[in-house]
Every structure is written in C-alpha cells, then in structure tokens.
Amino acid sequence: MIGGKLQRPSGKVELMRAWQVHELGEPIDVLRVEHNVAIPQPGPGEISIDVAACALNFPDALLCRGQYQERPPLPFTPGLEVSGTIRALGQGSEARGLQIGQRVAAQPTLASGLGGLAEVTIAPMANVHPVPDSLDDAAAAALLVIYQTGWSALTRRANLRPGETLLVHAGAGGVGSAAIQLGKALGATVIATAGGPAKVAVCRTLGADVAIDYQAEDFVARVNELTDGRGADVVYDPVGGDIFDRSTKCVAWEGRIVIIGFTGGRIAQSATNHVLIKNYSVIGLHWGNYRQHEPDAVDRWHTELMDLHQRGAIVPYVSEVVDFHQVPQRLVAITNRATTGKVVVRVRD
Ligand SMILES: NC(=O)c1ccc[n+]([C@@H]2O[C@H](COP(=O)([O-])OP(=O)(O)OC[C@H]3O[C@@H](n4cnc5c(N)ncnc54)[C@H](OP(=O)(O)O)[C@@H]3O)[C@@H](O)[C@H]2O)c1
C-alpha cells in the first residue's frame, strides 16, 4: 500500500469515510462524503492518525475551488489541521519520540491528496506535535495553524515589542482571533477591526483593548487618534485590498505591515515611494513554508504556544463544533463572512 494515497478498496481492506473533491468548484457543489475509502498506511517518515477533530480554514474553500497555492491531485480530501491519536508509525518516524495512542495535533500534507476531513489521515512526522490533556480535541485542532501563523508573524517577522501598538484586521476571524491573544501575550496594546457589532464584541472578549467596526467607521482616523497621530507599530493583515491600502495611512514610523492573506479578494500593490517616505516595512509571512526551511522553528513555536496555553495566555476561540455532514455548509459560511473564530468538525463521535 502506498502511504497517504487514497485507494479504491480491494480484497480485505479497512474502510473509512472521508470528504472528497472530484472536480473543482464551490464547496457546496463539489464536496462528497465517500464511505468506502481504504484506510491508508503510513509510508516511511509518516504517521497515521485516528482523527478526532478537524478545524476548518478559509483555504479549505480555496482548495475546493482550485484557488489555493497548493493544488492536490483529484480526487482529494481537504482539511489542513487535525487532532487525534496516533494509529500507526511509519518506518523511521519513531525517531520523533511519538507513540501509538498518543494525543497529537497534526497537519496532513495535501500533496498526497489526503487531508484531515477523514476518519484516518496521514502526516509527515515533522508535522505531528504532542498536545496536553488540558486541550480538548476541538481546541487542540484549533491551536495549530492560526497560532503558529500569528506567533511566527509577530515574533519572528514583525518583531513586536512590549508597549507597541498592534492593529489586527478581521480580528474576529480565525487568524485574527489568535493574533489578538498573541499580541496581548506579547505585551502590546491591541486595536482590532471587524465587520459589524457582533464581531466587534468578539474582538473585545478576546482581549482587544479597542475594537473598531470597520464597516461603520474609518479605522484610519480612529487608529491615528488612538495613537496620538503616531499610527500602529505593527499591522496584521489577513484581508488585503482596500484594507491594506488604508493601513498604509495609519502605520507608524518604522512600522511593519505583515501580509497574512487576501480574504478581501484583491491583492494590493505596495507603493514603494510611500514605503520609503513613511519609513515602514511591508513583510510577507508564509508560515507553512517554515516546515521546509526551518522545521526546528515550528517545533520551538509549538512548545512556546503550549506554554502560553498552560499559563492561560491563549485559549483558542472555537465558536462552533459541528458534525461531519455539516462541512460544505460551514465552508460556505466561512466564505460568506458568517463565522467567527474557529469552526471545528467532530470527525469521530
Ligand atoms: N500567511 C500564512 O501563513 C497564513 C496562514 C493561515 C491563514 N492564512 C490566510 O489568512 C486568511 C484568513 O484566514 P482565516 O482562517 O482567519 O479566515 P476566516 O476565519 O474566514 O476569517 C477571515 C475574515 O476576513 C474578513 N473578510 C474581509 N473581507 C472578506 C471577504 N470578502 N470574504 C471573506 N472574509 C472577508 C472577515 O472578517 P470581517 O467580516 O470582520 O471583515 C472574515 O471573518 C486567509 O486568506 C488564509 O489563507 C495565511
């Protein structure tokens, strides 16, 4: 059996259910539950996981549409992050010190076509991290991508310092919610923006010092007013487009705008003359690529994040735990801006 590949059942194979995409399109149209998917065996350096929970992400919808930076071969199973227990260790993966039955959080690789929306998934050993019992399955799945993204962006890329002002856009969303908590943990004053009063209230609950409804008021004027005209030292931007353009009007001297994503749909262009005149930086962050370039850093960040969690400084905001059959509908809600925090799928009852 080939590690991680989806296979048609033949002879005596164990079967599982998994969401699959057979052709690209809107999640609601192209996602299908298959009940006869062969349970894969881990290949060398891989670990198979009995999935308890899979956290949904905006990119799951992009994957269904074929608009994500990774394009797994069809048919594929989406799902970027899971929690569960180790089912089997592939050859060599015992070197990581993990054991069968251990609770872990993991990132399946999409290259194999098998993501986390399946009863069993496969991950390279470097993508599997132990989790403490203080995290339940939903929280363990939710404390991976968005927190690693926020931690690497704020500590490594933006070098956020205590006492600085952090502006987090889309603060009630997945990556935004984590960034608010991480900004506070790092000793920053956190200003969050979000669309609508309910989301603004979520930002405040998450710990934002100030939350601005950027659909109702001009966040640029508010940020400049709140910082006595200085602007925000670090801007955390998962939205892009107009939000990026306008952020350049309220970034501080020597400020840093960290590009996280483009949920707004338009990829903004940076005016380099403006970058020079106002003396700020526009910084990219592609967290997933640290797995390739510096896997030790991801392990170190995981340890630091678990420590922050144990100290109560970060608590994943899981707004919904939903059943397996609700995946397409919840992905539609994510793309329609109708969710907050993390939506987590209960994969096994
Ligand atoms: N760079 C990295 O390494 C990295 C890692 C993880 C994720 N990401 C990216 O980060 C972005 C956010 O991911 P997420 O999981 O936080 O998503 P999410 O939970 O769906 O939150 C995204 C938020 O973006 C805002 N938004 C603004 N315009 C939108 C639009 N036209 N459609 C949908 N949402 C819009 C919404 O908040 P409001 O309604 O409040 O505006 C929404 O809640 C994605 O682009 C993802 O690919 C990047």
Burial class (CB in 10 A: 0-12, 13-18, 19+), 210: middle
Minimum CA distance residue for ligand 1 atom 2: 286
CA of 56 to the centre of ligand 1 (A): 12
Residues 140 and 83 sit within 8 Å (Cβ to Cβ)? yes
Note whether 255 and 224 are within 8 A (CB).
Answer: no
Domain ranges of the chain: 15-143+317-346, 146-288
Q: Which helix (H) or strand (E) holds 95?
A: none
CA 115 → CA 37, 79, 283, distances in Å?
13, 5, 29
Question: At 193, which amino acid appears?
Answer: T
The CA 175 to ligand 1 mean position distance, Å, reads 7
Q: What is the pLDDT of residues 277-330, one digit of tens each?
A: 999 999 999 999 999 999 999 999 999 999 999 999 999 999 999 999 999 999
Residue whose entry in the numeric block shows the structure tokens 């340890």: 303
Domains 15-143+317-346 and 146-288 share a fold: no
pTM of the predicted structure, to 2 decimals? 0.95
Phi, psi of 46 (to 5 degrees): -115, 160
For 169-249, strand residue ranges (E) read 189-194, 210-213, 232-237
Pairing outcome for strands 120-124 and 81-89: unpaired
The helix/strand/coil state of 323 is strand
Assign domain 146-288 to its CATH superfamily. NAD(P)-binding Rossmann-like Domain (3.40.50.720)
Q: Which CA distances in Å does 145 have to 83, 97, 154?
A: 12, 22, 14
209-250: pLDDT as tens digits: 999 999 999 999 999 999 999 999 999 999 999 999 999 999
Give the CATH number of domain 15-143+317-346; options: 3.30.310.50, 3.90.180.10, 3.40.640.10, 3.40.50.720.
3.90.180.10
Q: Stretch 110-127: mean pLDDT, rounded?
A: 94
- CA-nearest residue for atom 4, ligand 1, is 260
